[in-house]
Amino acid sequence: MQDKFDEFDAAKVWGDFQKLPPALTLAQVDEMEQGAQRRGQNEHVIRRVALMTLAHPTKHFIDIFREDRNASLSFAEALRSMDDQIQYLDSVREVLSAARMRISLSLAVRDDMDEILKDAAVT
């Protein structure tokens, strides 16, 4: 393991980092933004269903689903939407992580990086 560490060339890694091409095309950015806007119309409903589900004991839903087919179907639809939302949020997380890495490493060129990060307003 030490041999691999000794072979580490920070200058090469930095050089390779500086040559990274864009990770997305502008068309992909527009497509993702449009998808996010479409999802936003339904996102609050799914989030509310999830929160309210967690605010009730499990037996509450077992009893309802045992007796009410329509309620079962409605929650099954919500379940499918939650699966889709989880997949979407995972992809958003990947995009944010990649962008965060590029920004934070790029800020390292500044001598006052720590001060800039400290002074940055959190929105």
102, 20 contact by CB (below 8 A): yes
Type of residue at 24 = L
- Is 60 exceeded by the pLDDT of residue 123? no
DSSP code at position 19: T
- Read off the pLDDT of each residue in 21-45 and give the average, rounded to a whole number: 86
Name residue, tokens 């993702």. 32
The DSSP annotation for 72-89 comes to HHHHHHHHHHHHHHHHHH
CB 81 within 8 A of CB 42: yes
Residue 3: pLDDT over 90: no
Summarised one tens digit per residue, pLDDT across range 62-99 is: 999 999 999 999 999 999 999 989 998 999 999 999 99
The amino acid present at 70, given as its one-letter code, is: N
The confidence score (pLDDT) of residue 37 equals 81
Residue 2's pLDDT band (cuts 50, 70, 90): low
Does 32 have pLDDT greater than 90? no
